[in-house]
A = this chain, B = another copy of it.
Amino acid sequence: MLPYKTLLKIDKSSSEAVFKQIASQLVLLIQKGILMPDMQLPSTRLLAAELDLHRKTIMAAYNELITEDWIIGKERKEYRVSTLLPIIKPRTYADKAKSSYKAKSVVSFDKLEHVPSLTETKAGYKVIVNDGFPDVNIFPIERVSGEYRRLLTHQHLKKTSATLNIDGSLVFKEALALFLNDTRGLNIDPENLMVTRGAQMAIYMAASMILKPGDKVLVTTPSYFFADAIFRQLGAELITIPVDDDGADVEAIANALQNNQIKLLYIIPHHHHPTTVTLSSSRRTKLLEIINTHQLTVIEDDYDYDFQYQYSPYLPLASGAHGGHVIYIGSLTKVLGPDFRLGYLISTPDFLSSAIRLKTLIDLRGDVLMEEIIASLMQSGEFSRFIMKANKLYRHRCDYAADLITNELGHLVDFNKPQGGMALWLKFNEQYPLAHIIKKSAALGLQFTGRAYFKSSDLPYDAIRFGFAAVNEQEIEFAVDILKKITF
């Protein structure tokens, strides 16, 4: 007999019934090839004695497995592993010699080397400073988990699986349209809106629909690197315009339009990524004029709008009179956290009906349950309250980090406090090279997970985004202390 006492680990404190634990573990032994087809199992009496359990428990486990065709029982006496299992003897990772998936591909493919890599967190950190993500410690876990349990019923799954939901579940689209109308002064219907996996998929989709290889795109420099990478991936040519303390240089946009056949402008008017500046009111007015005069197609990426620390936010360009030229993109991921990827794309109904076609090719269907959970929080007012709470917390952390960095790191960095968002754009003085700082910080337990921006022809300094939203006062102090300690 196999050493079942060692092989079968029963956890009596588990919420799973003991007979189910035994059944599942016997299946694992079958799958691992320890119990082979046609092999005889111990009698229920014998196994019960071995495991110090009641015989009825073993019988219940065996009966489960008989029902599921894993084992065959003869007259309630002899139990054998079925010979008809769709199970192949497992092969271990060690058996690499036989795999056709060798180290190097024989297939010819696009290597996408123009796409920047993100930094994976290494072990051994004490504090992580990301490049602008929310604090998951305030995520409403009880409510979301409760709603998940409420919605995950067979009856409800049957209902949701009977609908396509390519562009999002209707209940979420309705709640989201109201939320956007309320907070952003938009004036949209659910039919103006598509739900995507974060703003990222929305940018990818809009750009895929608008751009053809060789088309020219206006982008600010520096801009959101994964948007730039999308445009490059689609074969577009990037024409760069500068961004200063008042946001994108709108005069430069006007000039670029005089000199080029421009297909698209990509712009982040609130808390520009990476430099965190907000497009000024006068430039917004001027830009709307340009859009209308030149019939310029715009992707307005407003990923950070919900975080405003001044109580008087500028409305998005999309809320102005743009004649339908502005495709508006945003995200709830900045509210909820990186594990909850809910973005949206807003445009005219005909644009969206083609976007739905593209979405069937890429994604087919979103996370309907999560959409419905957030819809429920929106309808009850909890979502707005949560944003208010987050704003209060992040505004405080923004002030705290800004004051501390000003006082303690004035020699090292320069920055302008942003009007909102989740990051400070730290520009490093020339004598303190960022590569050195990142390396030394990591050795002392402080990891920056955002991209490092090094001095280049477009950028006259090294810089990094210091995400203040997800770090508390002690962590901000720790980070500043480390930065202060670094020697050159």
Contact = CB atoms under 8 A, between A and B. Distances in A.
Contact of A226 (B209, B360, B470): B360
Interface string A382-414: 101100110110000000000000000000000
Contact of A182 (B90, B148, B178, B385): B90
Q: Kindly state the interface size class of chain A when it binds its partner.
A: 35 or more
B27 A385 contact: yes
A348 B389 contact: no
Interface string A304-343: 0000100111010010111111110000000001110100
A86 interface: yes
B25 A381 contact: yes
Interface stretch (A41-49, A113-121, A434-442): A113-121
Interface stretch (A50-58, A104-112, A243-251): A104-112
A486 interface: no
A88 to B, nearest CB: 5
Interface stretch (A72-80, A155-163, A423-431): A155-163
A107 B443 CA distance: 51
Interface stretch (A131-139, A254-262, A267-275, A458-466): A131-139
Contact of A152 (B144, B161, B295, B388): B144
Nearest to A338: B161
A363 B200 contact: yes
A92 B178 CA distance: 8
Contacts of A39: none
A88 B31 contact: no
Contact of A95 (B98, B103, B187, B198): B187
B103 A348 contact: yes
Nearest to A308: B86
Contacts of A12: none
Given A229-B361, A313-B86, A350-B104, A99 B69 contact: no
Contacts of A347: 101, 105, 107
Query: Most chain-B Cβ atoms within 10 A of its Cβ — which of A108, A149, A357?
Result: A357
A197 interface: yes
Contact of A31 (B145, B166, B381): B381
A186 B15 CA distance: 34
Given A341-B364, A363-B201, A348 B104 contact: yes
A391 B85 CA distance: 11
Interface string A79-95: 00000111110111101
A23 B385 contact: yes
A311 to B, nearest CB: 4
Interface of A: 15, 23-25, 27-28, 31, 68-70, 84-88, 90-93, 95-96, 98-113, 115, 117-118, 120-121, 128, 133, 136-137, 139, 141, 144-146, 148-149, 152-154, 157-158, 160-164, 166, 177-178, 181-189, 192, 197-198, 200-201, 204, 208-210, 213, 226, 229-230, 233, 295, 297, 308, 311-313, 315, 318, 320-327, 337-339, 341, 346-351, 354, 357-358, 360-365, 367-369, 380-382, 384-385, 388-389, 391-392, 449, 470
15 contacts: A24-B381, A25-B381, A27-B381, A70-B388, A86-B183, A93-B189, A118-B166, A118-B360, A136-B158, A137-B158, A144-B152, A145-B149, A213-B213, A341-B365, A341-B367
